[in-house]
Chains A and B, each alone.
Chain A
Amino acid sequence: MAAAAQPAAALLQPLPGGLWRGSFEAMASPCELLMERAGEPGLGSDDEEAARRLLQIACDEVRRIERKYSRYRSDSELARWHRAAAGQPGQPVQVDEESAGLLDLAALCHQLSGGRFDISSGVLREVWRFDGSDRLPTPDAVARVAARVGWARIGWQRPLLTLPPGMELDLGGLGKEYAADRVLTLLRAEGQRTSRDRPLLINLGGDLVASGPRSDGSPWYVGIEQPIGQTPQADPDPTQPAHPAAPAGLIALKTGALATSGDARRFLLRDGVRHSHILDPRTGWPVQGAPRSVTVAAPTCTEAGLLSTLAMLQGEGAEALLAAQGLPHWVLR
């Protein structure tokens, strides 16, 4: 039976254009799954049941990953590591295979980015609040909290993790993209199991991955949000509070993934200078000259997400880094 605290069930609707649209809330984002309808849009058809099954698999998987790595849940795997570190300082905690894979990837990104990508930088949020205001933290406060950041001080010997006291990990920069890839893997397996491979697109709050082009060979079109202040805002629609603004542009996606870093709504404004919410873990201060948003297309969502984050962290050098990778990308400044 549904408990009171249970998240809303996923919703499946037919969409004009021969699609099923599944939607659910997870990871504090609107998530959606677009699936091509097979054959007739029959009432109570097998196809509806099949689409419902796919949606449920997707929803379950995203919520599983969210539960496991959430910063906000005391029963998450992440919370277990933090408790172990606080309870027995210096004692390693053993992590499972999946977590080990994510930590390995984080370690690699730390190395590749010269320390700019750091999953221990989450504590910087204690002093930085990006609400569009002009409240900058004091250099003292930043220095104090930056002392608790640094992947190099964390003991990671797969599968053993040793966290120094006061340090915390945050996999938020990987979670959604990793979940999108995992969902695609599971849905493909289900498609093969039931011999019902169908074109589909997974969108976890703007991080997307497509299984392939539409049946007729056409691409999926993806809109990119207009950052605030670029164009005069139209009257906001009060009936759609959390709805994204009009797309600033459309990207045709045939296969693979798109991920975006940056956020048009989160910044600090001080003396006319816009401080991005991308913080450099090495200093504790915002990255200078970071673009407003970076979108990257790559074979997997995890890779697209990491590359867009790494590009943001490069600040002025975002375009140069991306150009060197030979992947389609879009930078908004």
Chain B
Amino acid sequence: MTTSPLSLSASAEPSSLPGSTSTGTSTGALHLALAAAVTGLLGVGSVGAQAEGLKPSAATAATAASTAATWQADAAVLLYREGDGRVTALEPVISLRRNDGNDRATGLRLTLDTLTGASPNGAVAQPTAQTFTSPSGKGTYTTAAGKTPLNTEFRDTRIALLASHERPLGTDQRGSFSANVSAEHDFASVGLSGSWTRDFDNKNRTLSLGLSTEFDRINPEGGVPVERGVAFAGTSKGSDSRYVVDLLAGFTQVMSRRWITQVSYNLGRGSGYHSDPYKILSVIDGSSGLVTGDRYINESRPRSRTRHSLNVQSKWHLTQDVVDLSYRYYRDDWGVSAHTLDGRYRWELGSNGGSGGGAYLEPHLRWYRQSAADFYRTWLTEGGEYVSGAAGRSPAYASADTRLAAFTGQTLGIKLGLPTGQGREWTLRVETYRQKIDQPANAPGALGSLDLTPDLKAFTLMVGYSRPF
């Protein structure tokens, strides 16, 4: 039997057909015999032979069968490794998600982080070796001449737990809330967040609003150092805390059959302790470039930070592949502003013959550029902004943390998705990251010939597996 393709329309009003015949009411023997035979063939015991045509028949009763809860489990291991013996992070994650059949989903995620390696302590390289007291105050570490000082005692283990629940609120609204706790030996954090989404215009437009709060307790080894105080002096004030609130508003719109776009705005404000207790700055002589006077002081950052970011993302479905492009603009009241461009191309490799979607390859490119914070300094100059001694002076805020420097970051990666049927999927992601920090201008004396802000290279490998059970 050959048929013509029928066009489908989801908007027009039904109309009667020329030559259409009204429905009879008797049930034909042919229909009964066929219905019984087809039921046997399809193995659908509920396909009745009622002459109901367009009215719901017993066939639909089958769909309202069990709505037993289902579980989905995801496990992944992420390895992040920086070059030059810097930080290595190993992060196993396991998450469970339960759907109760009424579109209510509950999730639990456990993350473990193990960090080892070395992290820049903020001091600037010198033509001679430098020795520092470790944060615990119990030991020392020494940096070779010409090298950027790294705190080699850097190691940490973090455990984090996130619980979330999501449910429909009526027909076109959803609500979700989540709670998370995370703990390290010197840091603890608890957070709560909630969001509300609403669909409009036949689900072609969605508005979402979210609020999240976080409370952090910072309890460093050897106590919180006195900000702007002379480093390693042993003066500290126990622990400190920080409170962060974020508001999010997002808007998603289906633009056409092949194009969907999303715009979101995030406003965040943190108040409390924002400094890094393990970061210092070098005080150097303005002509020789060598450390002098108080030599090293503890960094200091404002006790509040207001952040804005605007994110625009679009996805296009080509004939079979998907292009995903996004741009994010960020700025805060510390003077940092940033642009991020992110692009992904999902290349469908075709069906694998299983029943869980096809394999795909997804190259990923990301470009990031940020300006420096107003108080970012590679060093402080004795007699300039900083004067040593108890009666001296220092700038209210100063940090040599390169995360507050002006830099450009580039990520290049590829992800492979390999479904193995029955909703199971393996994923493998490999990424390289390169960060180029702007070199400080007018490096005095001996510093002129040293690489004060070496590039950072990092590599990420992630293996994940997901399955229902």
Contacts and interface: CB of A to CB of B under 8 A. Distances in A.
A330 B19 contact: yes
A326 B24 contact: yes
B208 interface: yes
B68 to A, nearest CB: 7
B38 interface: yes
Given A193-B468, A299-B59, A221 B5 contact: no
B38 A297 contact: no
B291 to A, nearest CB: 50
Interface string A92-131: 0000000001101100110010000000000000000000
Contacts of B39: 300
A30 B5 CA distance: 7
A172 interface: yes
Interface string A19-46: 1010000000110101001111111100
Nearest to A201: B8
Contact of B19 (A195, A222, A331): A331
Contact of A17 (B2, B40, B202, B320): B202
B50 interface: yes
A281 interface: no
Q: Is the interface of A mostly helix, strand, loop or mixed?
A: mixed
B139 interface: no
A13 B9 contact: no
Nearest to A312: B1
B21 A326 contact: no
A328 B23 contact: yes
A186 B423 CA distance: 13
B84 interface: no
A275 interface: no
B21 A330 contact: yes
A34 B432 CA distance: 39
B15 A328 contact: no
Given A105-B38, A299-B47, A255 B17 contact: no
Interface in A37-79: 37-44, 49, 52-53, 56-57, 59-60, 63
Contacts of A34: 8, 10
Contacts of B168: 39
A176 B357 contact: no
A302 B38 CA distance: 7
A152 interface: no
B351 A56 contact: yes
B101 interface: yes
Given A18-B199, A262-B3, A263-B2, 8 more contacts: A21-B257, A42-B206, A185-B43, A192-B65, A252-B54, A261-B1, A310-B30, A324-B30
11 contacts: A11-B320, A13-B258, A39-B197, A40-B203, A195-B103, A224-B17, A225-B4, A249-B17, A255-B55, A255-B60, A323-B24
Interface of B: 1-21, 23-28, 30-31, 33-35, 37-44, 47-60, 62-63, 65-70, 99-103, 168, 171, 174, 197, 199, 202-204, 206, 208, 252, 254, 256-258, 260, 262, 313, 315, 317, 319-320, 324, 348-351, 353-358, 419, 423, 468
